[in-house]
Amino acid sequence: MTPDKKVKILATLGPAIKGIDDIRQLVEAGVNIFRLNFSHGEHADHALRYQWVREVERQLNYPIGILMDLQGPKLRVGRFAEGKVQLAKGQAFRLDLDATPGDAQRVNLPHPEIIAALQPGMSLLLDDGRLRFEVTAKHADAIDTTVIAGGELSDRKGVNVPEAVLQLSPLTAKDRRDLDFGLELGVDWVALSFVQRPEDIVEARELIQGKAFLMAKIEKPSAVQHLEAIAELCDAIMVARGDLGVEVPAENVPRIQKDIITTCRRLGRPVVVATQMLESMRFSPAPTRAEVTDVAAAVAEGTDAVMLSAETASGDYPLEAVQMMSKIIRQIENGPDYQAQLDVGRPQAEATASDAISCAIRRISAILPVAALVNYSESGASSLRASRERPTATILSLTPSLHTARRLTVAWGIYSVVNARLSKVEEVSSTALEIAQAQGLAKKGDTVVITAGIPFGQPGTTNTLRIETLS
């Protein structure tokens, strides 16, 4: 499993993946971390897929991350007496708390928190934004609207309220049950849906209690507004472009994506770009040119990882989708201007020994023909700081913790090897060179840069840098 790309691939598991052999093929094709989508499937399905991944991890002796993606609140209208209605532009339409089946004049909205948050003049979107309404009046148990963009509306279609912050926890009763199950199973990451404000991250952290790392999904305008504070509180960010593209104008999504990537890199938080990256490969063995360009743009902007959703979960060509994603990543990373673009966006270093050393190894790897950067890290923090610098050479993170190694599977340029804790300074160079060679990252005559914290085993003590030649 010699690393051949720096941007990671997060692939969603689902019914298209039939067993251990399929998982192994996906990993060998370039997947670094797998997603269990708790919006679909039963606990038994997720447990089985979890075991498949862990078996492949054991077979390959290669850390593989597993992320559980919580469903979050699903806001939907009620049912219609005839199953569906046709709404015309300009007509009046009411949404209320009455559970009676609806008609062309009204429908049940079983979410009092939406009615409480909306005000006249605000927008209301239904069915992934296909139907749009403007609120004209608000009552204690209903809202009156005018149809701005009409069409067919049927039972249980989704509701989006882009201009309001709902007094609603991102964790439903179902999410809490799923979270308990996932943490007991041993997932490495938890993706939190429906994040609106920093307090949502605090609530989730209290439930997770350090048993997994937390990834906030940015899919609501209010989360974009509070991005900095949210990113500070979580361990990683996902640009969830599906729901985000419903709640903000589509033309704003590329700029928001770029802003999120820039912010996350500055803060040293891994960032994943997600949703419909190779959507056509659900049913086709080849992507569209626009999709290839979309993936390439995310890679060029400096994202840590890109995600496949239905392409691998339920598509007809899951392996081909991963292979294509890997080829696009490698093509961009091997381009003549990739590193220059990353250097332009390099964030300001903080006044710490770890950042000073991370800056130094980036400069060294630009001056010398460095084959690998070997970093000893107990918690993974110093490896993440090195990743933030986007050096030209691959970062080989040596850690005694499998938990840490799995955490780093989402971070740019980091490949981890679980290694027993060092006890002597003299062991640093020999062990690093031996592992770099064994991993296929260096050969005789190559230059390797090694960083570590001495004394060993104390997080936050990275203070040593060595330049060694493999003899």
Cis bond upstream, residue 110 (ω within 30) = no
Tokens 């089946």 label which residue? 101
Spot the catalytic one: 5, 8, 106, 217.
217
DSSP string, 24-53: HHHHHHT--EEEEETTSS-HHHHHHHHHHH
Closest CA to 334 of 300, 288, 297: 300
Distance CA 283, CA 316 (A): 6
DSSP string, 317-366: -HHHHHHHHHHHHHHHHTSTTHHHHHHHTPPPPPSSHHHHHHHHHHHHHH
Distance CA 387, CA 269 (A): 10
Q: Active-site residue 217, yes or no?
A: yes
Spot the catalytic one: 12, 275, 399, 462.
275
Spot the catalytic one: 8, 35, 385, 388.
35
Q: Please name the residues in contact with 354: beta carbons below 8 A apart, sequence gap of 6 or more.
A: 381, 382, 385, 460, 462
Side chain identity, residue 311: E
Q: Active-site residue 35, yes or no?
A: yes
- Greatest alpha-carbon span in the chain: 80
Q: Which two tokens mark 41? A: 């499937």
What are the catalytic residues? Answer: 35, 76, 217, 275
